[in-house]
Structure 1
């Protein structure tokens, strides 16, 4: 009797393990699961890059603008690279100090095959010019993100309606 009961438990254990393995394999091969992983990767990359793109200190403007450029790809990268010195000079002339923090972000579209995504983001940005106390504002943004050889990067940013 004990041997038969032990055999039944062993058989049920093998069935449970097989079902768990099959379920795991099916979930891993599921397109929506892959899309979810890409969505998570977009959010993980875009959040810190958005903070970077809204942060500058006129005393370290060259390094800050270089970080902006490193956070971007495509035409946005080309535009920032071409305007590098202008951005540095503008920050120095106005003695701008800006810092940002990500309040919230959500991916609204992701196309892993094309390597593109779009998200909505809200940033808390604090800007000081000419030594004045910083003023705070919430920036609502629509953000285009593209996969580059270095991973997901910002390819465009637009102000979103309130």
Structure 2
């Protein structure tokens, strides 16, 4: 009877190689499933919608009488559909009103949330809390916080506002 002597170093190396191959296979499979996960894609789209919605709402609440054209251009670039039509149709009136008022209005996003997202239909809704500061030609700036509701539509140029309005302020029922 012949007895074979096994090299323990060789057995250990083979075992470690097998573990490394198994780990690499598991890591590759995990990466692949994560990259093709619908929930992950939905999260990315939700983040895109929120960023676009916050920026668009901020743009729509920012306007400087010293450069009205740039402000209105930002409004138009942030909008689509019926909202864009309203802005385009009323552009001359808006320009005149802002130049006469001589105000500077700046908005800062405080927070925002996607309230609805339908990726198949290319529609989304956001709520954005803003601090809007209006600086008159004379006097002190006045700041006001407000909540805006925006509806967004996916366009070839990205997500754009198709509707924008004030969020209703709730009341407390008594009695």
Normalised to the residue count of structure 2, the TM-score between the two structures is: 0.87
Secondary structure, in 3 states, of the residue corresponding to 2:140? coil
Map 1:95-114 to 2 at 5 A.
95-114=102-121
Could you tell me which runs of 5 or more consecutive residues in structure 2 were left unpaired when the two chains were aligned: 1-7, 170-175
Over alpha carbons, which structure has the higher Rg?
2
Q: After TM superposition, which residue ranges in structure 1, 4 or more long, deviate above 6 angstroms?
A: none
Could you tell me which runs of 5 or more consecutive residues in structure 1 were left unpaired when the two chains were aligned: none
Deviations 1:60-105 (A, max 9, x none): 1122111111111111111111111111111111112100111001
| Selected match of 2:89 from 82, 92, 95 | 82
- Could you tell me which residue of structure 2 aligns to residue 116 of structure 1? 123
- Could you tell me which residue of structure 1 aligns to residue 138 of structure 2? 131
Normalised to the residue count of structure 1, the TM-score between the two structures is: 0.94
Output the CA distance in 2 between the equivalents of 1:108 and 1:14: 44
- Could you tell me which residue of structure 2 aligns to residue 17 of structure 1? 24
Output the CA distance in 2 between the equivalents of 1:108 and 1:2: 60
Give the paired residue count.
162
